Amino acid sequence: MAPTHLHLIRHAQGFHNISTANHALRDPLLTPLGESQCHTLSTTLPSISTIDLIVASPIKRALYTALLTFRAHLTANPTLRIIALPDLQETSNLPCDTGSDLAELQREFANMPIDFSHMTPGWNNKTTGPYAPVARHVMARARRSRRWIAAREEKEVAVVTHGGFLHYFTEDWSDHAKFTGTGWANTEFRSYTFDMSTPQNVENATVVETPESRLRRKGHEISLTEAEQVNLMETAQRTWEEAGYIMPFVEQAEDGYFAEAEAKPRGAVVKVET
């Protein structure tokens, strides 16, 4: 059986969120406000004491968001670990969205309850390979991460990741332009279940927002149809390609490089988050 609930969380405010100059920071940390947001989230996240699996992007701001938000819960459950999952990292290859080397993470988070066993050297290569910011690759790793979670035995799962990636993970593109590059605010959380209604949805590990979660943030607004979601996805991806958050759909050459995508100067367009 798949987990009963997924509680999806966007990371707290990082230093890259407060200044365009800070987009050049590699793997920036949380701001004091971001740390405060985590403390607030720890008191507002529903049924936090029932969480039995915590998964996070290995980018530092996501790891620190998980550590601070679940500090008391981790202390009360000393065998619980935050699992760092590379597939959950953000989409773009800007310095602020490029993670640190595994050895650095292991040093910085030594003696903290984080499981790095799913990580390998090169997980932060955002130029070529499976983590390059090409839409089809982002879609593929969003599906992989959903399927990985769906195969777990735990029942209540918290996932800490990034605003842009969350649209790919949920396959929900509504409000994608509410903030720059995402419809998710810092430390916003939404709850989901796996859709087991068809073999196709089971295979895709499709997730559906719970009525309670949707009511909390949307009131009685009617959900978008599948056709409307597809249209929004195409619109969002065109917008993000123009902004440099992801690269266009291109065929991968035999050597693994994306010649067309790499012709665009890296970081040519500044990413601004709120």
pLDDT for the residue numbered 46: 85
Whole-prediction pTM: 0.86
- Is residue 253 within 8 Å of residue 225, measured between CB atoms? no
What is the rounded average pLDDT of the residues 20-26?
Answer: 83
pLDDT for the residue numbered 82: 98
The percentage of the chain sitting over the pLDDT mark of 70, rounded to a whole number, equals 89
pLDDT for the residue numbered 1: 81
pLDDT for the residue numbered 199: 96
> pLDDT tens, 36-63?
999 999 999 988 999 999 999 999 999 9
Q: Is the pLDDT of residue 101 over 90?
A: yes
Distance CA 91, CA 93 (A): 7
3-state secondary structure the chain: CCCCEEEEEECCCEHHHCCHHHHHCCCCCECHHHHHHHHHHHHHCCCHHHCCEEEECCCHHHHHHHHHHCHHHHHHCCCCCEEECHHHCCCCCCHHHCCCCHHHHHHHCCCCCEECCCCCCCCCCCCCHHHCCEHHHHHHHHHHHHHHHHCCCCCEEEEEECHHHHHHHHCCCCCCCCECCECCCCCCEEEEEECCCCHHHHHHCCEEECHHHHHHHHCCCCCCCHHHHHHHHHHHHHHHHHHCCCECCCCCCCCCCCHHHHCCCCCCCCCCCC
The percentage of the chain sitting over the pLDDT mark of 90, rounded to a whole number, equals 66
Instruction: Provide the 10 A C-beta neighbour count for residue 212.
Output: 9
> pLDDT tens, 158-202?
999 999 999 999 999 887 667 767 889 999 999 999 999 999 999
